[in-house]
Amino acid sequence: MDNRPIGLLDSGVGGLTVVKKVVQKLPHEATVFIGDNANIPYGDKSVAEIIALTRESVNFLLQKNVKLIIFACNTATAAAMAAIQKEVAPQIIGVIQSGSVAAIKTSKNKQVVVVGTQVTANSHAYKKEIGLRDSAIAVTELAAPKLVPLIERDAPHAEILPVVKETLQPLKGQEFDTLVLGCTHYPIIRQEFAQVLGQGVQIVDPADQVAQYTYNVLQRDNLLSASAEPGVHEYYTTGDVRMVNELGKSFLQEPNFTAKHIEG
């Protein structure tokens, strides 16, 4: 048993979509979340820059004495997880392995699409992870660089919908049955994806599988919290707390959601 918190990081508010699923699955666990809003987007930065920024967030979480770290960011998982896992003791869980497992379970016709940042698409991390487990699955990776800035400023539905349409336009005529939300910001606009895709296409949010995997790891390593009380959750941002608080309140449905600012 281990009552220390689980640490989670992202470049911005997207990671809250993972926090939500982890807290639902593990309600007695404490969490510490850091969103690096001062440096968002990570999706168009170099791998070296992403490693350096992610390392800062990891060091912050280590100071908070976390027992496990979740990279609640596909871009950081693709670009920085392998390098940083070598440097730190706590296990790091990324979102891409879990997203790949979920996609394989979901797809019947073995045609999967992954939408993510430019860095995630260029890394072909999903293609590799899915291919390792089932080489018969065809994976199309698409970059959607315009979506994260819209989500971060809480743009209205009418502004987001045409950008989702434009992003998915190259898929016209393809017979895929599964689409992976390969950026942790996208579950916030899942409704827009569903509207453009219509029925017939299953949407996969890797966070469900991340939460299950986190539970499995904590149980395996005897790290589950012994507390009978609901876990305490701390939120930090290197950016402007106002927008993070607004999105946190509405998205997590936590009226008292309060993020603290730290220097990034």
**Catalytic annotation on 183?**
yes
Instruction: Between 8 and 218, name the residue whose CB sits nearer to ligand DGL.
Output: 8
Min separation Cβ 238 and ligand DGL, Å: 12
Q: Smallest distance from the beta carbon of 66 to ligand DGL, in angstroms?
A: 19
Q: According to CB under 6 A, which residues from 188 to 207 bind ligand DGL?
A: none
Per CB under 6 A, the segment of 99-107, 127-135, 179-187, 197-205 that binds ligand DGL is 179-187
φ/ψ of residue 84, rounded to 5: -75, -30
Name residue, tokens 């809480």. 154
* Residue of 13, 18, 70, 73 with catalytic role: 73
- Which region, judged by CB under 6 A, interacts with ligand DGL, from 39-47, 81-89, 210-218, 255-263? 39-47
Q: Which is nearer to ligand DGL, 147 or 223 (CB)?
A: 147
Closest contact distance (angstroms) between CB of 221 and ligand DGL is 25
Binding segment for ligand DGL (CB under 6 A), chosen from 84-92, 134-142, 177-185, 214-222, is: 177-185
**Of these, 117, 178, 209, 214, which contacts ligand DGL (CB under 6 A)?**
117
81 binds ligand DGL (CB under 6 A): no
Residue nearest to ligand DGL (CB): 43
Query: Rounded CA gap, 131 and 135, in Å?
Result: 4
Annotated catalytic residue 134: no
CB closer to ligand DGL, 12 vs 264 = 12
Catalytic residue, candidates 183, 204, 218, 259:
183
Q: 57, 100, 184, 237: which one contacts ligand DGL (CB under 6 A)?
A: 184
Q: Does 238 bind ligand DGL (CB under 6 A)?
A: no
What DSSP assignment string belongs to the chain?
A: ---SPEEEEESSGGGHHHHHHHHHH-TT--EEEEE-GGG---TTS-HHHHHHHHHHHHHHHHHTT-SEEEE--HHHHHHHHHHHHTT-SSEEE-SHHHHHHHHHHH-SSSEEEEEE-HHHHHHTHHHHHHHHH-TT-EEEEEE-TTHHHHHHTT--HHHHHHHHHHHHGGGTT----EEEEESTTGGGGHHHHHHHH-TT-EEE-HHHHHHHHHHHHHHHTT-----SSPPPEEEEESS-HHHHHHHHHHHHT-TT--EEE---
Measure the CA–CA gap between 6 and 61, rounded to whole angstroms: 9
Binding site for ligand DGL (CB under 6 A): 10-12, 14, 40-43, 73-75, 116-117, 120, 148, 183-185
